[in-house]
Structure 1
């Protein structure tokens, strides 16, 4: 019946009174109308609709002064499709109704005229209605897709007039200004502010830039562009968070003496900031450390209020995020509690629990339709983020086109999750980051305070993008952080000389590399480079009591900066890092050491396609491919050498 109605609607060629099918965004769109991809808004740029009737919820952030005008996308239709329709509704109102173009990758425009903006956002329900060719069925695994989705806005952003409104719903870039010779407290405030902003905007992937203030310079010389902001952090006797008057978008000044500056910097990430409805505010003491879950928690406390799915073979995914737990964990157990639609006697089925396609538990369905079972997660399958899949697999005659009544599977949010701390982490190297450094990361800076602050902020931003919880930091001199018993990020851009901490890959002045535990045992391998090669690196170490992340080079700080710039260029590169070290040799692509299997990533300077993450043999040799000589030798480290 529904298919007949949809087909009749499309054949008649009628539209709702609210809107008509619009032309593509290129025609008649003012040049100043901002167009932002859904990925820039923190959402997936591809919207998928499964089955004959699909539904997706889309939340669009809206800066003050702007209003969403239309949703544009490229349509990828499923096979065996005769006709289709897309609708956009808000509450009980139909905003637009658009027939589905049936060509190959054809653009579509969904007008959004008349949407209501609530709390700087618009929430829409998008629905698809599809009619298959006569005699065919829609493939449940081949959805209708809207790719390259974007929102065009009308209007112009209104500059903020109060501290509460300073950070907009969409923030594409934040520039943090600190003195050219910052104090440790100013560096810490910059790091805290950067991670707080990244945590707030999440998948918008806001660009964070740290810039120096010249002598006598009070603030930025030019106002920021729309959807960009500038913040000045400066130690001084005046305690305040205040807007600085400017033509266009004002900058924000955060100031105070050393014992109060950090607290003022916390204001923007606090709920108290919503009450700062003036151009100047001073905040009292604020909480510094996030409250972490206990050994026994629930999936609701881990960010999922419950999961459900309705289909012939429904499946749901439960995210076990170690960054949300705030530590590296082991011995993970999940008490699955939920329900599913009882099956008739003519249909058989089973409940299957799996991770990455590997079944870890299963049992037959029963007439009660109740799930109440403890599931143990093998330690070897735990990663930084582990998806625990639960599915109902059925067998039997389900009718033509799967006309058997679909099954609803629900896992309750109060399902307990039991964990214990893993020390050392189960997943070594970059896959243990940032959870192995939490809840507080001590940041050690070298002698070049500004350059090392910028490097530390770049790394902290990368770690924060992978974390569900805000990262807490404390900035101090490099040697103090080395001597501390706590997890730390150590910035030693010119080279590493502390013999108490053995790097996975180290270099000396003669051009010889020492590769620790190259075969997974106690042997070390040396590699002499002729001519000597320079490289920057990020390396992970567990020294027997804590996890360290060390940013260094063999006398080439500019190569460390090149490595961090490459990682910053695409946030996905941080999540894909594996192994214990990533090295950036001069004039060559970054390579990783310690990965179990080869990994693929993106290449810089070519739009982000095809950078290989090689294993030790190819990766380290790549450092010397341009060199004239190569000398290997195998050495056995003595116990006395390891103790030095």
Structure 2
């Protein structure tokens, strides 16, 4: 990740991404038909596609993990499969699958490291109303002695998938066009798209990602069709893939093609139709054609004060041997705007430690202690804790622990203690014009609740770029992100915006972190005088940059290049190839040159947050003077002297 340099009193940071061994300008390959299951003769989906995660962790010797898995119509869940791994000292155990109080299956786990495992789901009941199953995984692990078990260890199930029998049924009405599990969605627009057609495609793509949340399809593509009376796309290869044709010359409303092959949006209310499909009134569209009524309300700002429950945090209770601990997260996207001066009210109970044991209640975010106080005999707490701005992230993890100095852990001498946290604790925060933290970590909350979207060409390529940008940003947020398409000349600098100028021209006056007039001399915001570096030979690049709010203006995300639109496309495809890369973005600019990995840059005008993501791509943070030759991944960057410090750990 980033390297920080000082150039004549200016600090720069550049990161060469090591998240992928190489960069390809090709689009992600299509998955094709559903992956078949050799055991059942049906098909399988990874758990991320059905609303969970591909890695399941069950810490402790006896642990419950509730899951809700989507079930496509016409199919039956058969099993959960994956690779189970246990701590070296665990001799074996069992894992149960329960639905309510009913035992669905019990599977033995062998204590031999990592091994394939199959958890049968025979007889599990599917909720037809929600097209899902609710179940609980429960572990019972064995060791040579009770006291030999570390409560932080446990079972890990990796590469987890769900297997199904049956064939997903084709949609029969507009209301069931979006399946319970969606593997891919392709948008078709005319080869000469209007602004309304392009805006509708981007809005619908963004709302579909918001609708599916963590289970949103990794593949979202935009393609062109010749404008004619039918505009029928080629057949989809996957029964859980969906195709949407958007064209103003088609009949008005949302129309399902015969056999449910694809959906068309037509007429002069395209954006309203796009908003309708994933709305909570879409289930009322019970026919093969639907004409929405009045436009749906736009996303609204959250209130000034919300409780933990409003941020998705439920009541928590833990009982364990040793120090009990609970965790929760403060998600700025749930608040619906960038904030600072965050305070959280912690309300709960704990097992009172004996007098003189040195018991304390400690609140941390990562390695930073936010607050602590002596544990009292009442066993209750109600305390406000401040989250400093330099600790605040898009998602800030907070951990509450009851610690004591006389913990007994000898066999037969261990004790159990408990800790609870109420979801009724309040959250207070103040709105801020300059996002905290700055740069990519300020997105998408700095663009909420609605952002302007503007492009210079408005062709299929621009619509595709906007689709990759807005769906990528939406993946970072639980709350929906509103999008308003405007002309580039009409962009209001007092409102947040996403601007696309693929060839580098046509942007309003902005101060970007990194600029280059000739793809050779590179200027850096905040560094006056001569260029920060001159590349020989000239090295064009595409970039994604955050122009932070200054002088009353709002945050602006800019997608541009030094006259090389194909390099901007390479950068966006690289991000889209793995949705997790959006969450890993740091700094204020991402630059992509030909045949090299992307580079991340931290502007001296936008200091890097104190806590940044730690990955294998981090090289270190250095302070020195720029003078000699180094790589931007493009050309010439340098540092005469560097002093490296270890990367801080991010809670998210």
TM-score, with length taken from structure 2: 0.85
Moved more, 536-545 or 504-513: 504-513
Of 245, 250, 265, 2:261 maps to 250
- Kept in 1: contact 2:631–2:637 (CA 8 A): no
- Kept in 2: contact 1:445–1:452 (CA 8 A): yes
- Kept in 1: contact 2:363–2:369 (CA 8 A): yes
Q: Which residue does the alignment assign to 2:352?
A: 342
Which is bigger in relative contact order (C-alpha 8 A, separation at least 6)? 2
Does residue 211 of the first structure (1) align with residue 223 of the second (2)?
yes
After TM superposition, give the deviation of residue 400 of structure 1 in Å.
3.7
Does residue 489 of the first structure (1) align with residue 502 of the second (2)?
no
CA distance in 2, matches of 1:192, 1:67: 33
Q: Which residue does the alignment assign to 2:151?
A: 140
- Kept in 2: contact 1:75–1:101 (CA 8 A): no
After TM superposition, give the deviation of residue 382 of structure 1 in Å.
0.8
Of 355, 365, 374, 2:375 maps to 365
Q: From the superposition, tell whether residues 393 and 618 of structure 1 become closer, same or farther in structure 2 (CA, over 3 Å).
A: farther
- Kept in 1: contact 2:451–2:482 (CA 8 A): yes
Question: Secondary structure, in 3 states, of the residue corresponding to 2:49?
Answer: coil
Question: Secondary structure, in 3 states, of the residue corresponding to 2:535?
Answer: strand
Q: From the superposition, tell whether residues 173 and 510 of structure 1 become closer, same or farther in structure 2 (CA, over 3 Å).
A: closer
Query: Any residues of structure 2 matched to 1:526-565 within 5 Å, and which?
Result: 526-542=532-548, 543-544=550-551, 545-565=553-573
Question: Secondary structure, in 3 states, of the residue corresponding to 1:589?
Answer: coil
Does residue 287 of the first structure (1) align with residue 300 of the second (2)?
no
Q: Which residue does the alignment assign to 2:643?
A: none
Query: Any residues of structure 2 matched to 1:211-230 within 5 Å, and which?
Result: 211-216=223-228, 217-230=230-243
Q: Which residue does the alignment assign to 2:29?
A: none
Please identify the structure whose Cα radius of gyration is greater.
1
Does residue 187 of the first structure (1) align with residue 198 of the second (2)?
yes
- Kept in 2: contact 1:340–1:408 (CA 8 A): yes
After TM superposition, give the deviation of residue 99 of structure 1 in Å.
1.5
In the alignment of these two chains, the number of paired residues is 591
Structure 2: unaligned runs, 5 residues or longer: 1-34, 640-652
Question: Secondary structure, in 3 states, of the residue corresponding to 1:95?
Answer: strand
CA displacement 1:39-68 (0-9 Å, x = unmatched): 332322222233331111122110011111
Q: From the superposition, tell whether residues 400 and 511 of structure 1 become closer, same or farther in structure 2 (CA, over 3 Å).
A: closer
CA distance in 1, matches of 2:627, 2:473: 27
- Kept in 1: contact 2:168–2:239 (CA 8 A): yes
Question: Secondary structure, in 3 states, of the residue corresponding to 1:81?
Answer: coil
CA displacement 1:163-190 (0-9 Å, x = unmatched): 1111111101011111112111111111
Of 43, 54, 62, 2:71 maps to 62
Q: From the superposition, tell whether residues 510 and 175 of structure 1 become closer, same or farther in structure 2 (CA, over 3 Å).
A: closer
Q: From the superposition, tell whether residues 535 and 512 of structure 1 become closer, same or farther in structure 2 (CA, over 3 Å).
A: same
CA distance in 2, matches of 1:613, 1:590: 17
- Kept in 2: contact 1:355–1:386 (CA 8 A): yes
Q: Which residue does the alignment assign to 1:501?
A: 510
- Kept in 2: contact 1:592–1:615 (CA 8 A): no
Query: Any residues of structure 2 matched to 1:249-398 within 5 Å, and which?
Result: 249-257=260-268, 260-311=269-320, 312-345=322-355, 347-398=357-408
Structure 1: unaligned runs, 5 residues or longer: 1-24, 603-608, 633-644
Q: Which residue does the alignment assign to 1:11?
A: none
Of 577, 581, 597, 1:589 maps to 597
Question: Secondary structure, in 3 states, of the residue corresponding to 2:474?
Answer: helix
CA distance in 1, matches of 2:621, 2:247: 44
After TM superposition, give the deviation of residue 235 of structure 1 in Å.
1.6
Does residue 513 of the first structure (1) align with residue 522 of the second (2)?
yes
CA distance in 2, matches of 1:487, 1:28: 50
Question: Secondary structure, in 3 states, of the residue corresponding to 2:452?
Answer: strand
Query: Any residues of structure 2 matched to 1:420-435 within 5 Å, and which?
Result: 420-435=430-445
Q: Which residue does the alignment assign to 2:248?
A: 235
CA distance in 2, matches of 1:547, 1:397: 50
Question: RMSD across aligned C-alpha pairs, in angstroms?
Answer: 2.8
After TM superposition, give the deviation of residue 29 of structure 1 in Å.
2.3
CA distance in 2, matches of 1:459, 1:620: 33
Q: Which residue does the alignment assign to 2:421?
A: 411
Question: Secondary structure, in 3 states, of the residue corresponding to 1:317?
Answer: strand
Question: Secondary structure, in 3 states, of the residue corresponding to 1:297?
Answer: strand
